[in-house]
Chain A
Amino acid sequence: MSLLQLPRFGNARPWVQTAVLRPELGSLVAAALLLMFFSIASSGAMLEIPTIARVLDTAWPYGIIAVAVGLLMISGEFDLSTGVMVGTAGALLGVMATEWGMNLWLALLLSLLICLALGLWNGVLVVWTGLPSFVITLGTFFGLRGANVALSKYFTGDALIENIDDAAGFDSLHSIVATVFGTAPSDFRVSLLWWGGFTLIATWILWRTKIGNWIFATGGDREAARAVGVPVNGTKIGLFMLTAGAAWFVGVSNAVRYTSVQAGQGVGAEFFYIIAAVVGGCAMSGGRGSAIGPAIGALIWGIAFVGIPHAGWNSDWRWAFYGVLLLLATLINHIVGERVRTARSG
């Protein structure tokens, strides 16, 4: 049988192809360049073990949530309630363990269920109302921001919940979420393994399961996906629960690690997760991205956070740096997106 070669109208440049198929490559290059830059600017101090330990310790909480936020973004949605959800999870664990004398493992399970329920709330509301998830989760953000502090004060009389280490089950839980390897300042938390493991599992789900295909399809062309039988709504709701679950993990890890919880924490962090996902190559309009990209995006934040003071600059420049990075990454994503649109032809 002779093969019929259809005429090609391939006016898409190879780099656009690569950017579409491997969206995290740009962030990987950026991370490497930044590391080189700060190594030179800090006369090599950037590459010492204690500095690397600090970079990773800064990055992991952002990394875990950014990976989940990245998957949600690929499906075409946003979650602004992830930052305060960290505070919610910590405060729930703290109140249950210190005020109600609950075993920490039970408190862990209950706080997870509540956070997942909040994620379900976000997802169901987005799917049912059809309103932008930006608005729905902004509402959840403000609701939780108020509730976190108000309820903490109601139950404990203070927005700071302390002495979590007195609760039953602390030692076993601490060993799982907050064990330290090495001695300060060259210390590495077990959290890094959780971060790496979660990133790998998310990558696996995204690239090698049918749920991953549904995530891409949902964000790529929702109507097309629905028409061929992809459970579009279920995929979105599941991902909102995943972001809530990721925030829960970071919240309880920190509560156990520091043995105290500031109920007002996490406000503003939601932007970092979104920035990390965008810097990692996830398209704000959905349909494109990876799980490893957001993890690299969080790593870039860690490099800048630690590198800027090491280079001898005022550490306030971190914020400006991250703002510029967000703009650049979004611009690149936008250009790729435009190329994709114009590359289509009759």
Chain B
Amino acid sequence: MTTDQSTPAADETTIDPAAQAEVPVLEVRGLGKRFGSVQALEDVDVSLRAGEVTCVVGDNGAGKSVFIKMLCGLIRPSEGEILLDGLPTEFTSPRQARSLGIVAVYQDLALAPMMSLWRNFFMGGEPVKGWGIFQRFDVGYAKEAMQSELEKLGVNLGDPDRAAHTLSGGERQGLAIARAMYYGARVLILDEPTSALGVRQSGAVLRLIRRAAQRGTAVILVTPKPQHAFWVGDRFLVFQRGRLVEDRPSETLTLESLSYLMAGGGEVDELESAIATA
């Protein structure tokens, strides 16, 4: 019996932090995006390292969603370049970006509600065994591989035959993140994963994010909540009016200073003085 399945991240290889730190997984130089006459994003330089959680924060329209959409291949940059492992790369579609290990997990997670967890987990990438007309979905492997991936992240979803609709919001995030990790995500982009969750579930999801980073993934987290960002983030990118205005490691920040930056930073001062002088 032959077992024919792609197991991109089946075995956990140990990551040498020194080697990883030298070349950033993903680097952008002079990245910009123009929609007609509107400059949505301008001249962004960032490098993302394996094992780091980078929080992207900023007001609505500050350019953070344009930024992550360019990283996952959803929109093409107008200027600048993206380097993957130090080599210039173009992301033409989310699927192509995913094949290079850049995976975005969105709020509306792609799950078919009536299908079991393991069917959802392997949707579109079903492991098979046997050949010819005897080729079949390797159900035993699918269940085990899903469970082991979930365990590595410390998630327990119970019976793999559960239908996906019975998952809570946090559990759905857990399944989606485990799925991304299984397919070998090197850069995991999470767009407001805790926005629809209560406190306990948010905490669980943030711990998942930490675990994913510990396993050597570069995580990009977009969140409007300073408490969530501060607890999980190693670095903070603050966007304002289409520009990257701050790029700070967590050691240089307190929750107060982060909240201040996320609330608009200098804009708040401007606003206060504007109100005072009016």
Residues of A near any B CB (own CB < 8 A): 1-10, 12, 17, 20-21, 204, 208-210, 212-213, 216-217, 220-221, 223-225, 227-230, 283, 287-288, 340-341, 343-346
**8 Å CB contact of A210 from B115, B126, B201:** B126
A20 near B163 (CB under 8 angstroms)?
yes
12 further A-B contacts with Cβ under 8 Å, apart from A6-B156, A7-B168, A340-B165, are A1-B152, A3-B154, A4-B156, A6-B174, A7-B201, A20-B114, A21-B163, A209-B135, A220-B114, A221-B110, A287-B114, A340-B163
Residues of B within 8 A of A (CB): 94-95, 110-116, 119, 122-126, 128, 135-137, 139, 151-152, 154-157, 161-163, 165-166, 168-171, 174, 196-198, 200-201, 204, 207-208
**Given the complex, which residues of B lie within 8 Å of A227, measured CB to CB?**
94, 110
- Per the bound structure, the CA–CA distance linking A5 and B139 in Å amounts to 24
List the 4 closest A-B pairs by CB distance, nearest first: A220-B112, A224-B110, A228-B124, A210-B126
A17 interface neighbour in B95, B157, B166, B200, Cβ under 8 Å: B166
List the B side residues contacting A340 at CB < 8 Å: 113-114, 163, 165
Whole-angstrom distance from the CB of A337 to the nearest CB of chain B?
9
- Asked whether B115 lies within 8 Å of A287 as measured between CB atoms, the reply is yes
Compute how far the CA of A7 lies from the CA of B204 in the bound complex, rounded to whole angstroms.
9
Residues of chain A contacted by B112 (CB below 8 angstroms): 216-217, 220-221, 224-225, 287
30 contacts between A and B (CB under 8 A): A3-B151, A3-B155, A4-B208, A6-B174, A8-B171, A9-B168, A10-B168, A17-B162, A20-B163, A21-B116, A21-B161, A21-B163, A208-B137, A208-B139, A209-B128, A209-B135, A213-B115, A216-B112, A216-B115, A220-B113, A220-B115, A221-B112, A225-B110, A225-B123, A229-B124, A287-B112, A287-B115, A340-B165, A346-B169, A346-B201
User: Does A343 lie within 8 Å of B165, measured CB to CB?
Assistant: yes
On chain B, the residues within 8 Å of A341 by CB distance are: 113, 165
Residues on B with C-beta less than 8 A from A220 are 112-115
Query: Is B204 a contact partner of A213 (Cβ separation < 8 A)?
Result: no
CB distance from B106 to the nearest CB of A (A): 9
Shortest Cβ gap from B187 to chain A (Å): 18
**Contact partners of A208 in chain B: CB under 8 A:** 136-137, 139
Q: How far is the CB of B119 from the nearest CB of chain A, in Å?
A: 6
Contacts of A20 in B (CB 8 A): 114, 163, 165
Could you say which of B112, B207, B208 has the most chain A C-beta atoms within 10 Å of its C-beta? B112
For residue B179, give the distance in angstroms from its CB to the closest CB of chain A. Answer: 9
Chain A residues within an 8 Å CB radius of B200: 7
Whether the Cβ atoms of B169 and A345 lie closer than 8 Å is yes
Let me know if B166 and A12 touch, CB within 8 A. yes
Q: Known: A4-B204, A288-B114. Contact between A213 and B171, CB under 8 A? A: no
- Interface pair A4/B126, CB less than 8 Å apart: no
Partner of A344, one of B113, B119, B125, B201: B113
- Known contacts A209-B135, A225-B123, A230-B123: does B155 contact A6 (CB below 8 Å)? yes
- Decide: A17 and B201 in contact? CB cutoff 8 A: no
Q: Closest CB of chain A to B153's CB: distance in Å?
A: 8
For A4, A17, A346, the residue with the greatest tally of chain B CB atoms inside 10 Å of its CB is A4
B166 touches A228 (CB 8 A): no
